[in-house]
A = this chain, B = another copy of it.
Amino acid sequence: MARAALSPDAVVDHALRIVDEEGPEALTLSAVAGRAGVATPSLYKHVRNLAELRVLVSGRVMGELVEVASEAVLGRSGDEALRALMDGWRSYAARHPHRYSALIQAPRPETAETGDRLVGIMLAALRAYGLEGSAAIHAVRCLRAAMHGFAVLEAAGAFQLAEDLDESHALLTHMVMAGLRTARES
């Protein structure tokens, strides 16, 4: 159990710092090794390979989103909860755009639990809308699509015009709420 300078968690910490500062494409094992002051192959004692490191990073980001989301929903309900959730989500992505871009969407067994937790929080945020069964699932999917789409585009700098992004996001929030309130078929 030699000097535990490094550990899987510590490796992920360094990886996150690299992602934040230089973007997800800059996440390489040699870069992490450099930060950790260690030779590249040493990392394999803590992480299976680069692909797994990416999954771990993604899992960490999802964990942070769980925190942001649950804190937003805590003690609120209905429109208020939904707005807080969407605002918190967007604010996280805007604060850590590279980190957000490092999220892996494709379902991975390693992050399934955290993902389910996120879905659970979204379901909770929608509880007051009285959606049952499948209707709630559809609603969560739309909420996810709206939040994720906006976050991705904002993180990528895809919204170039001068218009205030806060206002755009307020409209998005309004869309989701209005759509849920009037959720018949179309």
Contact = CB atoms under 8 A, between A and B. Distances in A.
Contacts of A178: 175, 178-179, 181-182
A174 B186 contact: yes
Given A147-B149, A174-B182, A107 B163 contact: no
Contacts of A175: 142, 146, 175-176, 178-180
Contacts of A172: 141-142, 145-146, 179
Interface string A92-129: 00000000000001110000000000000000000000
A26 interface: no
A167 interface: yes
Chain multiplicity (copies): 2
Contacts of A76: none
User: What bracket does the count of chain A residues touching chain B fall in?
Assistant: 35 or more
Interface of A: 83, 105-107, 134, 137-139, 141-142, 144-150, 152-153, 156-161, 163, 165, 167-168, 170-186
26 contacts: A105-B153, A105-B157, A105-B158, A106-B156, A107-B157, A107-B160, A138-B163, A138-B167, A138-B168, A142-B146, A142-B171, A142-B172, A142-B175, A144-B149, A145-B149, A146-B172, A146-B175, A148-B153, A149-B149, A170-B185, A175-B175, A175-B176, A175-B178, A177-B186, A178-B178, A178-B182
